[in-house]
Amino acid sequence: MPAAPSAAAPDSNPDVVLVVDFGAQYAQLIARRVREARVYSEIVPSSMPVAEMLAKNPKAIILSGGPSSVYAEGAPRLDRAIFEAGVPVFGMCYGFQLMATTLGGTVDDNGAREYGRTPLTVSKLGSTLFEGTPAEQSVWMSHGDACSAAPEGFTVTASTDVVPVAAFENDEKKLYGVQYHPEVLHSTHGQQILEHFLYRGAGIEPTWTTHNVVEEQVALIREQVGTKRAICGLSGGVDSAVAAALVQKAIGSQLTCVYVDHGLMRKGETEQVEKDFVAATGVQLKVVDAQERFLTALAGVSDPETKRKIIGREFIRVFEQAQLEILQEEGPEVAFLVQGTLYPDVVESGGGTGTANIKSHHNVGGLPDDIEFELVEPLRKLFKDEVRMVGQELGLPEEIVQRQPFPGPGLGIRIVGEVTKERLDLLREADAIAREELTAAGLDREIWQCPVVLLADVRSVGVQGDGRTYGHPIVLRPVSSEDAMTADWTRMPYDVLAKISTRITNEVADVNRVVLDVTSKPPGTIEWE
C-alpha cells in the first residue's frame, strides 16, 4: 500500500483508486474499505474536472453516493468521458444512478423508496461482482429514485422487490454499479463485492501494506530533504511520534525533535516524552520551556478558533527560535518542519475533498501565512489506525503506538473559556483521575478517546461537607471510532463512571459536578472546541 506523499513532497505516482465524492456521508468509509482490501485510495471532489482525475492515472474509479436526485436541477454531474477512458468504474447509490443516466439508462421517481436493511436478489450468481455470494442477501439502501432500465450493453445482475435494476455490469467496458452501499457493515457481503470489483473487475493486485508505506515514505523524505536539516514538533501523541520515527529512519541525525512544553499537556506527559520516546528511538530532542509565552498569548481569549490559531502561531514562532539555536549549535540550515498531519485533519479543515471547514487544526488551518519552513507530512493521507500500523512497523513501543489520541493544542481546547494556569491545573487533575480509572478498568483499547472537558465559564450550585458550593462542571466524553471521521459515545460501565465522578468531585477543588456527553459524531465533534 504505497502511501501518498504530502503536498510538499515529490509525487510518487502510487497505484491509486479514486473515490469521487458526491457529498456522501460514507465517502471516507469507502476509501477506508478500499485500503482494507490492501489497495491505496484517495478521495477527490465531484467538482474536479475529469481530465484532472484521469491525469492521476487511477487504476480504478469509485463513484460515491450522495443526497441529490440525478435529474434535479443543479445535481452533480460527470463528463461522459470518465466512462469512455478505459478506466474501470464502480458506481454506488447516486454514483450508480449517475452512471445509468449518463450512459442512456433510465432513473426516475417511481415511488420505490428504500431505506435501511433491504433484501437483495442476485440473478447472475457467476457475475464479476457477485461470484461466490448467495442469491439472497441483505444490503443497506438509502434512495428515493430507482433505475428501471439499464444502459445498453449492461447486464442486470440483481434486483429488490421494488427496484428492477439494483445492480448491473458491463465487463467489456469494465463498468459496474449497485444501488446500495456495499461499504457499510449492514451490507452483509459488501466488502466481498468491493474486493471483486478491485481484484476481478479492475485487475488490481492487493499490495498496499505498511511495509510499502515505510519504504516509499523514506525514499520521498530523503528526496525532499536532501542534505538539509529538519525539525519535528513532538507532542507526545501517536501522530507526531510516528512521523518523527519515520523521518528519523529516512535522514537520521539530520532530524532534531523539538518538544515545546507549552503548559497545555496532561499530567506526567512532559516527562513521558522526554524519557520514553527518546529511549525508544534515540532521536535528538530539544526541550523548550514556553509555558509563560503560551499563557500570555492566550490570556483573555475564549473563542475556540482563535485559541487554535494562537497556539499554531506560537508553535511556529518557537520552532523558528529553535531553528536559530540548532543552526548555531550544529548547522547546516534547518529548512523543514515535520508534522503528524493525518487525513481527517485535512478533511475537517476543508482540504482534500472540497468540504466545508469544520474547525482549523493546529497543523492545517492554524498555521501562520508567513511560515518559513517547508512542510514534511508523511502521514497526511493516512487514517489513525493506519498510522498505528506504521508505528508498529517502525518498532515503536505499544505505550506510544496505542496511546489514545490527544490534540496538538492540548488542554487549551478542552477548557471552554479562557485558558489560565489555575484552570489548566484543575483540568490536569481531573483528566489524570479519569485516565487512571479507565486503565484500571481495562478500557484503554475499547475507548478510542476520552476527552475530559472543563466548562470554565459555567458554575453550578452543589453541596459538599454540609455547605453550599458554586463549582465548575467537568464533562467526560468517551467515544468509540475507527478513524475519528465518525464516532459514537462509549457505553461505559456505570460503576466505572461512578468511581471517576466520585474521585473527581472529592479530589479536585472547585469541581462539584461531573456530566457525561452522549452525543455521536455527527452531529458533535469529538473535541468540544
Among candidates 402, 396, 394, 410, which has minimal Cα distance to 269? 410
Among candidates 118, 90, 84, 86, which has minimal Cα distance to 34? 90
Q: Which residue has the higher pLDDT, 364 or 127?
A: 127
Residue 93 annotated as catalytic: yes
Contact indicator for 389, 209 with CB cutoff of 8 Å? no
Helix (H) or strand (E) holding 148, with range, is strand 146-149
Query: CA distances (Å), 63 to each of 55, 91, 284, 317, 428, in order?
Result: 17, 5, 46, 43, 46
189 backbone dihedrals φ, ψ, rounded to 5°: -120, 25
pLDDT at 299: 96
Long-range contacts of range 207-210, CB-CB < 8 Å, 24 or more positions apart?
207/1, 207/15, 207/38, 207/39, 208/1, 208/2, 208/15, 208/35, 208/38, 208/39, 208/40, 209/1, 209/38, 210/1, 210/386, 210/389, 210/390, 210/392, 210/393
Q: 104-118, 213-227, 397-411, 413-427: which has the minimum mean pLDDT?
A: 104-118
Q: Which residue has the higher pLDDT, 328 or 495?
A: 495
What is the C-alpha separation between 486 and 63, in angstroms, rounded?
20
User: Residue 436: which residues within 8 A CB-CB, separation 6 or more?
Assistant: none
pLDDT at 418: 96
Per-residue pLDDT tens over the stretch 247-271? 999 999 899 998 889 999 999 888 8
DSSP string covering 198-216, please?
IIIIS-------HHHHHHH
The 3-state secondary structure of 364-392, one letter per residue: CCCCCCCCCCEEECCCCCCCHHHHHHHHH
Residue 398 annotated as catalytic: no
What are 127's strand-pairing partners? none
pLDDT at 9: 35
- Residue 134 corresponds to which amino acid? P
User: Residue 124: which residues within 8 A CB-CB, separation 6 or more?
Assistant: 130, 155, 156, 157, 158, 169
Polymer length in residues for the chain: 529
Q: What angle do CA 464, 461, 526 make, to 5 degrees?
A: 105
Query: CA distances (Å), 274 to each of 264, 395, 464, 500, in order?
Result: 16, 18, 39, 28
Contact indicator for 481, 487 with CB cutoff of 8 Å? yes
Report the pLDDT averaged over residues 428-448: 93
Per-residue pLDDT tens over the stretch 22-36? 987 778 789 889 999
Per-residue pLDDT tens over the stretch 42-65? 889 999 999 999 999 999 999 998
Q: Tell me the three cell numbers of residue 100.
A: 445509468
Report the pLDDT averaged over residues 408-430: 94
User: Residue 302: which residues within 8 A CB-CB, separation 6 or more?
Assistant: 417, 418, 457
Q: Which residue has the higher pLDDT, 183 or 197?
A: 197
What is the C-alpha separation between 234 and 257, in angstroms, rounded?
6
Catalytic one among 42, 143, 147, 181? 181
Number of neighbours of residue 366 by Cβ within 10 angstroms:
22
Q: Which residue has the higher pLDDT, 334 or 136?
A: 136
Per-residue pLDDT tens over the stretch 186-220? 788 999 999 999 999 999 999 888 888 899 899 99
Per-residue pLDDT tens over the stretch 345-355? 766 554 444 34
| DSSP structure class, residue 474 | E
Contact indicator for 473, 481 with CB cutoff of 8 Å? no
DSSP string covering 319-376, please?
HHHHHHHHHHHT-S-EEEEE----HHHHHHTT-SSS-------TTTTTS-TT--SEEE
Catalytic one among 42, 114, 169, 183? 183
| DSSP structure class, residue 111 | S
Q: 368-372, 402-406, 522-526: which has the minimum mean pLDDT?
A: 368-372
What are 103's strand-pairing partners? none
Among candidates 33, 92, 88, 100, which has minimal Cα distance to 64? 92
pLDDT at 462: 77
- Model confidence at 371, pLDDT cuts 50, 70, 90, reads low
Residue 6 has pLDDT above 60, yes or no: no
Average pLDDT, the chain: 85
Per DSSP, the three-state class of 188 is coil
* % of the chain residues with pLDDT over 90: 47
Residue 361 annotated as catalytic: no
Q: Tell me the three cell numbers of residue 40.
A: 491505496
Burial bucket for residue 406 (CB in 10 Å: 0-12, 13-18, 19+):
buried
Number of neighbours of residue 389 by Cβ within 10 angstroms:
20
pLDDT at 161: 83
- Model confidence at 399, pLDDT cuts 50, 70, 90, reads confident
Residue 318 has pLDDT above 50, yes or no: yes
Catalytic one among 42, 93, 232, 377? 93
Q: Which residue has the higher pLDDT, 138 or 358?
A: 138
pLDDT at 37: 93
- Model confidence at 523, pLDDT cuts 50, 70, 90, reads confident
Q: What is the CA radius of gyration of the chain?
A: 25
